[in-house]
Amino acid sequence: MPCGPDALARLPEAFRNVSYSGARHPGAGTPECPSPTGDAADDLAGGANCQRYAYAVLRHFGLWVPPLRSAELWADERATVPAERPRPLDLVLFDGGPVVGRPTGYGAHVGVHLAPGQVLHLCKEAGRPAVWSYADFAVRPRYARFLGAKRVAGAAG
């Protein structure tokens, strides 16, 4: 499991050169998102949104999360469990704060916690996978609130 400042560089090439595509999200139908082949890297061909990217990274390390959108992920109690303090390979969610009429987690940004202060993620702003600190998220209104972390149920650690 790659951690530290060079974690992104140590991932296979297919995970470093993914382009952001909002149309390629969990639950998107074909032709945008053909059925996954089982190969996490193949699932990223053609781009991904933050959730699809995070789930592929976890799958690369042997952890599986169903294709949940962010509010579904936040509410999920079967495949994931809340994590009080993020550990490597926990999913972390950020948003701009509550929105009246929308469930908690709706439209939240999803990344993968790598190490203290390091989150691997894919967003429109960066265009390619990046490792940001929690402070990097906090200064952007869209990601200013750290909603919390979710751990894959049954994950070792």
The tens place of each residue's pLDDT in the chain, 157 residues long, gives: 556 657 778 888 889 999 998 887 676 654 444 445 556 666 788 899 999 999 999 999 999 999 999 999 999 999 999 999 999 999 999 999 888 999 999 999 999 999 998 999 999 999 999 999 999 999 999 999 999 999 999 765 5
**1.10.510.10, 3.10.129.10, 2.60.120.1060, 3.90.1720.10: CATH of 7-152:** 3.90.1720.10
Place of tokens 């595509």: 21
Q: Where are the domains of the chain?
A: 7-152
What's the pTM? 0.88
Contacts 24+ apart (CB under 8 A), 86-90: 86/113, 86/149, 87/113, 87/151, 87/157, 88/1, 88/3, 88/113, 88/114, 88/115, 88/157, 89/1, 89/58, 89/61, 89/63, 89/113, 89/152, 89/155, 89/157, 90/149, 90/150, 90/151, 90/152
The answer for residues whose C-beta is within 8 angstroms of residue 128's C-beta and 6 or more apart is 16, 17, 18, 19, 20, 122
The answer for residues whose C-beta is within 8 angstroms of residue 50's C-beta and 6 or more apart is 109, 110, 111, 121, 122, 123
Amino acid at the residue 35: S
